[in-house]
């Protein structure tokens, strides 16, 4: 095989691998609709304060390989927006939220508004864009839901 043909094959394999990785990551990130259960008492008990316009709560476990990357994304979002707070919750230490919120995988990020209403949820390896969209959705006025 000529060097040019070998280079083309290697480049094609590299592009295929990158494309497959991006598709896999996209398929493993899930955005969930907000819950309509009243979780305000639970959130207060877990130390979530209504001080920020949006609080992002990351639920993680010690064995979670994606959690450090998502933590960096959340830290970046909160650094860029003064009205966004971040709370880290280690389910390995206390797993009560997992059963209350139905968390089945980590990382899971919950967006909570100032009224302590859960406004959205993302599970899996979340990108900066996904988290930014989650924050923007949490900032929108609530419609048609009891206070």
CA–CA separation, 21 and 8 (whole Å): 20
pLDDT tens column, 56-115: 999 999 999 999 999 999 999 999 999 999 999 999 998 888 888 888 889 999 999 988
- State yes or no: cis peptide before 107, omega within 30 of 0: yes
Residue 1 has pLDDT above 70, yes or no: yes
Instruction: Tell me the CATH number for domain 31-139.
Output: 3.40.30.10
Greater confidence (16 vs 23) lies with 16
Give yes or no for a contact between 54 and 139, defined as CB atoms under 8 angstroms apart.
yes
Q: Which residues pair with 54 in a beta bridge?
A: 84, 113
Where do we find the tokens 């290697």?
Answer: 10
Close Cβ partners of 107 (under 8 Å, ≥ 6 residues apart): 58, 59, 60, 64, 66, 67, 70, 71, 123, 124, 125, 126
Q: What is the pLDDT of residue 95?
A: 87
| Reported pTM | 0.72
Q: Which of 11-15, 88-92, 133-137 has the lowest mean pLDDT?
A: 11-15
pLDDT over 90, % of the chain: 44
């Amino acid at each position: 095989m000529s060097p040019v043909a070998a280079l083309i094959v290697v480049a094609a394999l590299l592009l295929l691998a990158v494309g497959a990785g991006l598709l896999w990551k996209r398929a493993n990130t899930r955005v969930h609709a907000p819950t309509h259960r009243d979780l305000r008492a639970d959130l207060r008990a877990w130390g979530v304060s209504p001080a920020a316009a949006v609080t992002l709560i990351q639920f993680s476990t010690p064995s979670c390989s994606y959690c450090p990357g998502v933590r960096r994304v959340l830290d970046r979002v909160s650094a860029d927006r003064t009205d966004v707070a971040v709370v880290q919750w280690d389910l390995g230490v206390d797993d009560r939220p997992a059963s209350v919120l139905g968390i089945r995988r980590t990382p899971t990020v919950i967006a909570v508004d100032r009224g302590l209403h859960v406004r959205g949820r993302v599970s899996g390896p979340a990108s900066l864009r996904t988290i930014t969209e989650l924050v923007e959705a949490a900032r929108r006025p609530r419609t048609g839901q009891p206070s």
